[in-house]
Amino acid sequence: MITLFRKISYLNEIADKIVEGELLVQNGVIADFGPSLGTPEGAHIIEAEGAILCPGLVDLRASLGEPGFEYRETIASAAQAAAAGGITSIAVLPDCAPPIDDPALVHLIIARGQETGSVSLLPYATATRGLKGEELAEYGLLKRAGAVAFTDGGRAIASSRLMRLALSYASGFGMRIVQHPEDPELARGGAATSGARATWMGLPGIPAAAEAICVARDIRLAELTGGAVHFAHISTAEALDLIRTAKDKGLRVTCDTAPPYFDLNETAIGDYRTYNKLSPPLRAEADRNAVVAGLADGTIDAIASDHQPRDADDKRLPFADATPGGAGLATLLGVTLAQVTGRHLSMPRALALLTCAPAAWLGIEAGVIARGRPADLCLFDPERSWMVQAGRLPGKAQNTPFDGRALEGVVLGTWKAGKRVFG
């Protein structure tokens, strides 16, 4: 099949500029692009003046529920939400049941992604067996099966000794450890960031310093071992300062954040809204501003959806007892584009954080407009607005922290290997 996109703007090959022109897809790959390509015989023409064509989004971190938690989300429902959000590749957390600590489960997740026909699933494997934080998983076998990195998902590796071993062991296979940066002892039993708001609401607090303490320890361990550590969903100014300094020293340290941490602050929990109970918790406005600055100056390497599907029964509880986590696949692009509208990020920078940057981190052939690359594409209207409504989102998970939020940036179509899978 031949598809020609005409009268569009697209993210250029090096992701530093939006240019106007045409793009040609043949046999599932990007055949050519430029100001004027002519019309091949039999081509299907898509004209979308005013729209932007970018690579399919690459989500650096999402939990999909299956296997084990299908009542929250299934791979099929997550694929539906991803396609509607312009996402064509997802790095999948190993926090299912059983956890992904066996090569057979790595193969299963990859195969289930292929079965959807709309999204590539790239599994993380557990850093420790069974996510128990007691002994390391079999990194060599898991890498050979296709694992992209090792992590215990939303559980921090608490033991300094075990984290040191994990960094050393993973480094021997050319792999990274992805850490949930939160000191478990300081965070235990907490529901919101410590401070005046948590006290006023009567909620047990988690000090913001719990993040920086874990980050500082693991940076030192990365320096000690020569290993590579990646910090997930960074949310505080202090942690970002530590990461910035580590990068300046040339250490193998990277990080990402998620939309709630640059779009919302702790005031969003003011009515005990459990959809806004997240891990890490929403922070003070000064921290939110620091995250925005980290996106702009390159300290933060990528934006991930941090998709954590939850059932209604997980959230219909008192705030302190509700399960943390927010759905994020369908809103990933729109919330990120709000930073473009607010002039905190350029459009190329925002799209790079969602496409080529996470793809390069994962080491996959995705996230770029380049001849001969798979035609994983997202076409969106940057000026068309929509309202986030829990209960009406694509997919099964509806626990969005952005319920009621007006966003600009409507996905008009998503293509996987040249095949239209949404729109």
Longest dimension (CA), the chain: 68
User: In angstroms, rounded to a whole number, what is the distance separating the alpha carbons of residues 91 and 84?
Assistant: 17
Structure confidence by residue, pLDDT tens digits, 116-134: 999 999 999 999 999 999 9
From the list 360, 280, 368, the residue with the least C-alpha distance to 16 is 368
**157 in Cβ contact with 179 (< 8 Å):** yes
Residue 2 has pLDDT above 90, yes or no: yes
- Band (pLDDT 50/70/90 cuts) for residue 1 is confident
| pLDDT tens-place string over residues 235-256 | 999 999 999 999 999 999 999 9
Best CA proximity match to 70, nearest among 293, 395, 411: 395
Rounded Cα distance between 71 and 48, Å, is 38
Tell me the pairing of strands 253-257 and 228-231. parallel
Q: Is 212 exposed, middle or buried (0-12, 13-18, 19+ CB in 10 A)?
A: buried
| Structural domains of the chain sorted by starting position, each given as residue range(s) with its CATH number in brackets | 2-52+375-387+408-422 (2.30.40.10), 55-362 (3.20.20.140)
Residue 39: pLDDT above 90? no
| pLDDT exceeds 90 at position 42 | no
- Give the residue-averaged pLDDT of 31-45: 91
Q: Tokens 């929990």 belong to which residue?
A: 269
Mean pLDDT of the chain: 97
Q: Which residues are catalytic?
A: 306
Query: 186 CB contacts (<8 Å, ≥6 apart)?
Result: 206, 207, 209, 210, 213
C-alpha 401: how far from its chain's center? Answer: 15
User: If we measure between CA atoms, which residue out of 84, 90, 11, 99 comes closest to residue 58?
Assistant: 90
Helix (H, G, I), strand (E, B) or coil at 167: helix
- CB–CB of 283/267 below 8 Å? no
Kindly tell me if the per-residue pLDDT of 230 is higher than 90.
Answer: yes
Structure tokens of 392?
């009406």
